[in-house]
Chains A and B, each alone.
Chain A
Amino acid sequence: MKLESRVPAGPIEKKWDNCRFEMKLVNPANKRKYSVIVVGTGLAGGAAAATLGELGYNVHCFCHHDSPRRAHSIAAQGGINAAKNYCNDGDSVYRLFYDTVKGGDFRAREANVYRLAQISVNIIDQCVAQGVPFAREYGGTLANRSFGGAQVSRTFYARGQTGQQLLLGAYQALERQIDAGSVTMYPRREMLDLIIVNGAARGVVTRDMTTGAVDATIADAVVLGTGGYGNVFYLSTNARNSNATAIWRAYKHGAAFGNPCFTQIHPTCIPVSGDYQSKLTLMSESLRNDGRIWVPLKKGDSRPPAQIPEAERDYYLERRYPSFGNLVPRDVASRAAKQACDEGRGVGPGGYGVYLDFAASIHRLGAHTIKERYGNLFEMYDRITGEDPYSVPMRIYPAVHYTMGGLWVDYRLMSTVPGLFVIGEANFSDHGANRLGASALMQGLADGYFVLPYTIGDYLANAKLEKASPDHAGAKQVLAKVDTVTRKMLAIKGKRTVDSFHKALGKLMWEYCGMARNEKGLQFAIGKIAELREEFWKNVNVSGGNEEINQALERGGRVADFLELGELMCRDALERRESCGGHFREEWQTPEGEAQRDDEKFSHAAAWAFQGEGKTPGRLVEPLEFEYVHPSQRSYK
């Protein structure tokens, strides 16, 4: 297997134009002769399915929710970046490109990032036209705010519910196509396998989650927009049903998995409160615009925050990073919080928390303005913790939030399996080793509305595909395999629940492959995960049967995949012997404790190729060349 990035020739600002001109088109009248499968209905999948439908393709769209409107993009709070320069503060496509490459610690493909920055402006236009109620100024123009890793205001937002509004925009566009008949929607269907015919992705096997029926659907190309795999950690800000099954099963059919160890730990989440905890809740990064982060100067200072005088507080981000202050990128802010807590200066029960304090902003702007900006977030915090953030500082701690890794794709978003396209968080993305805030929504919609719909046309116009049907031998084989695995899992009837395995895996991952990693820990985790996996297949207890709604069975399949993916993440973290972005190897740090890259050896994306069950996967490399943004020690001081 070879990684061919297919980055077009020419200067960076011309590459996407050149690519669009070189690509073959499908004649409008011929589009309806092609069928495309889209799995997932988040920002990427929903936008892609709607747009392909508008263009005239015959689309089959699947989601595991009861409605396409529920995908986890809906939970994104803070905003979406675009290089509009509406604030007249010096922003440009080039600056957004620069900030994103630097924010990703020089581990992203320059050409992709530049395209993303170019397209960002079209996304805002599109969403406004769809009726997304973005925040406005009194004169009726669009409002902006700042996010981490940027010194300009380029983030568009709809209260603290930007993801919800953007997703509903895509969902409504999708429903319009469903009504028009160009998209056939299959809700409550989970993709369990990929069908390959003559080396090309031609279909999916899905399970109807209401009846248990397992079917094959055949098309001319397959698009995965199935999101990230943060739930491998059990506790994360991801929705409970977010999972890696679709991409993991595609990986086993030859789609290389890019940078699996690149995980984003978000600095501002509500801390864990007990063993029963089912998920962690994010408090939007936008809060860092007006909130100040601090811990007591003294170790073990257990006084209530109001009784700690200014002089005995350490506003550590403002102290360490005076030019970006509380708005440093996420990886930097998370590590700094961990360091403060490891020093014994953490706050709240267990000592794993830092304060996010709004007292100064409330004093300066008034409670009304703060309420207008963050009202729903403050309310959510109050609801979960029983504390009022208008009068007591929030307690926050980092939590797993996003995965920059995912299936490797070329410039045209195609994986190493011909005809298998991967979009949004599911691909290994444009974010390198760390994603900047408000860039996930941008990438999901860029891929879905404006990149994939063109590039898939070129693939279809060039591919000479034979006729295929669900009766094809390849499809039948995959169907039989899915059935065998389901029966096997239901037959075990062991002693441990699916969740207990998931929690155990999560603890291992958080401890050894979380915010700080080292050689010994990773090797230990790889061994332990293998043991856990072995026990899973002997001792898991999945109750009920297949021909019914069976949530334990759904989770069982997903956890089985996490138990394999977790090992690959550790393996990737082990082999990447440097620190970069969210990947922090304790052996490689600067004297000040910042991530120390090794550009000579690791200026590349690593993509893992499946070699067969029980075999060590192969590590492929796509060298990254930086023609425009010269790699330097990332500094936010």
Chain B
Amino acid sequence: MKIILQVWRQKDRNARGKLVRYECPNVSEHMSFLEMLDVLNEDLTTKGEDPVAFEHDCREGICGSCGFMINGVAHGPMPGTTVCQLHMRHFKDGDELYLEPWRAKAFPVLRDLIVDRSAFDRIVAAGGFISVPAGSAPDGNAILVPKDASDRAMDAAQCIGCGACVAACPNASASLFTSAKISHLGLLPQGQPERYERALNMVHQMSVESFGACGNIGECEAVCPKRISIENIARMHRDYMKAAWMVRPEVETGGAG
């Protein structure tokens, strides 16, 4: 089949970008979306033009590297699917598709469809962890974890950090991403000691990075390739509220040492 692409081309962070039209004449239904772009790039290179830059790595939907908007929808039309796992059998001959990078103030475009998502790393660095140095852990079965808690933690922990939630949100909020980590760790007994400080610090960092606030619209959940539930955002807000009342400054005397 033939697919027509309108691709956002932008040389670097400061350049002006524009949509450029390309034709892909021989697309097989078994190709993945990125394989179609591979073929386009081989053609462009042979013709002496610059290939389209897009981020990708595992091509199994787990590394979170890939992602762009297809006709205004993050990762394209298939629910629960990253763009690397999106196959061309879901499109039809003659379709015209607009490919654009994630758009958010906190995700500046670096080139074509590649954006800078390092803000996500800084949100995790602000508290998305359990402080347990190597060697200091008790036996794996010493703390029993109810199956339900582990299962729900796993649901939240599946987030691949691709950024689709931010791109889909009219406020460019990172709430789904941030809340998934807060829920994952907060649901487990191991995550309790730092639970409220974690919520406070991660939410704070989210606003430092210029992400917007959550308006309960739900676009994030709709496009999330791992189907992370918006319920996590409610959970984050509860933890944050509680934290705002509860968290006290460190003991000045040095406490227990």
- A165 → chain B, closest Cβ, in Å? 6
Contact A129 B31 (CB under 8 A): no
Asked whether A276 and B35 contact (CB < 8 A) given A74-B63, A240-B56, A384-B85, the answer is yes
Stretch of A106-114, A541-549, A587-595, A627-635 at the chain-chain interface: A541-549
Contact A129 B110 (CB under 8 A): no
How far apart are the CA atoms of A552 and B139 in the complex, in Å? 48
How far apart are the CA atoms of A124 and B143 in the complex, in Å? 13
Any B CB within 8 A of the CB of A586: no
Contact B12 A549 (CB under 8 A): yes
Any B CB within 8 A of the CB of A519: no
Any A CB within 8 A of the CB of B129: yes
Q: Residues 174-190 of chain A: 1 if any B CB is under 8 Å from the residue's CB, otherwise 0?
A: 01101100000101000
Q: How large is the interface on A (under 10, 10 to 19, 20 to 34, 35 or more residues)?
A: 35 or more
Contact A543 B48 (CB under 8 A): yes
Contact B134 A70 (CB under 8 A): no
Contact A241 B60 (CB under 8 A): no
The dominant DSSP class at the B interface is loop
Contact B150 A136 (CB under 8 A): yes
Please indicate the chain B residues that have their CB under 8 angstroms from the CB of A125 in the complex.
137-140
Please indicate the chain A residues that have their CB under 8 angstroms from the CB of B63 in the complex.
65, 70, 72, 74-75, 239
Please indicate the chain A residues that have their CB under 8 angstroms from the CB of B212 in the complex.
none
Stretch of B152-160, B231-239, B248-256 at the chain-chain interface: B152-160
Asked whether A126 and B147 contact (CB < 8 A) given A239-B58, A497-B42, the answer is no
Any A CB within 8 A of the CB of B111: yes
Contact A133 B153 (CB under 8 A): yes
- B40 → chain A, closest Cβ, in Å? 11
Q: Which of B57, B137, B153 contacts A126 (CB 8 A)?
A: B137
Closest to A549 in B: B111
Any B CB within 8 A of the CB of A279: yes
Q: Residues 58-90 of chain A: 1 if any B CB is under 8 Å from the residue's CB, otherwise 0?
A: 000000011111101011000000001010000
Contact B110 A549 (CB under 8 A): yes
Contact A165 B157 (CB under 8 A): yes
Please indicate the chain A residues that have their CB under 8 angstroms from the CB of B57 in the complex.
65, 70, 72, 239-241
Any B CB within 8 A of the CB of A354: no
Asked whether A133 and B45 contact (CB < 8 A) given A66-B117, A380-B61, the answer is no
Contact B139 A74 (CB under 8 A): no
Closest to A128 in B: B140
Closest to B132 in A: A129
Please indicate the chain B residues that have their CB under 8 angstroms from the CB of A369 in the complex.
none
Asked whether A552 and B133 contact (CB < 8 A) given A172-B124, A175-B125, A276-B39, the answer is no
Any B CB within 8 A of the CB of A486: no
Please indicate the chain A residues that have their CB under 8 angstroms from the CB of B150 in the complex.
133-136
How far apart are the CA atoms of A469 and B12 in the complex, in Å? 32
How far apart are the CA atoms of A130 and B136 in the complex, in Å? 11
Asked whether A129 and B136 contact (CB < 8 A) given A75-B58, A136-B150, A278-B34, the answer is yes
Contact B130 A129 (CB under 8 A): yes
Any B CB within 8 A of the CB of A164: yes
Any B CB within 8 A of the CB of A92: no
How far apart are the CA atoms of A168 and B177 in the complex, in Å? 14
Q: Residues 45-76 of chain B: 1 if any A CB is under 8 Å from the residue's CB, otherwise 0?
A: 11011110101111111111100000000000
Asked whether A133 and B157 contact (CB < 8 A) given A74-B63, A274-B28, A499-B42, the answer is yes
Complex interface residues of chain A between 268 and 299 (CB less than 8 A to chain B): 273-274, 276-279, 281-282
Contact A383 B121 (CB under 8 A): no
Stretch of A138-146, A403-411, A601-609 at the chain-chain interface: A138-146
Any B CB within 8 A of the CB of A248: no
Contact A129 B137 (CB under 8 A): yes
Q: Which of B35, B114, B132 contacts A130 (CB 8 A)?
A: B132
Contact surface of B with A, Cβ cutoff 8 Å: 11-12, 28, 30-32, 34-36, 38-39, 42, 45-46, 48-51, 53, 55-65, 78, 80-81, 85, 87, 89, 110-111, 114, 116-118, 120-121, 124-126, 128-141, 143-147, 150-151, 153-154, 157-158, 160-161, 184-185, 188, 190-191
List 3 tightest A-B contacts by C-beta distance, closest first. Answer: A140-B144, A129-B137, A172-B129
Contact surface of A with B, Cβ cutoff 8 Å: 47, 50-51, 54, 65-70, 72, 74-75, 84, 86, 122, 124-131, 133-142, 158-159, 161, 164-165, 168, 171-173, 175-176, 178-179, 185, 187, 210, 239-241, 273-274, 276-279, 281-282, 379-380, 383-384, 386, 449-450, 453, 495, 497, 499-500, 541, 543-544, 548-549, 551-552
Q: List, sorted by A's number, 27 A–B pairs whose CB atoms are closer than 8 Å.
A: A47-B134, A51-B133, A65-B57, A66-B116, A69-B64, A69-B121, A70-B63, A74-B63, A84-B140, A86-B140, A125-B138, A128-B137, A129-B132, A131-B184, A131-B188, A133-B188, A158-B154, A168-B157, A175-B129, A179-B126, A278-B38, A386-B30, A386-B89, A453-B134, A499-B42, A541-B46, A549-B12
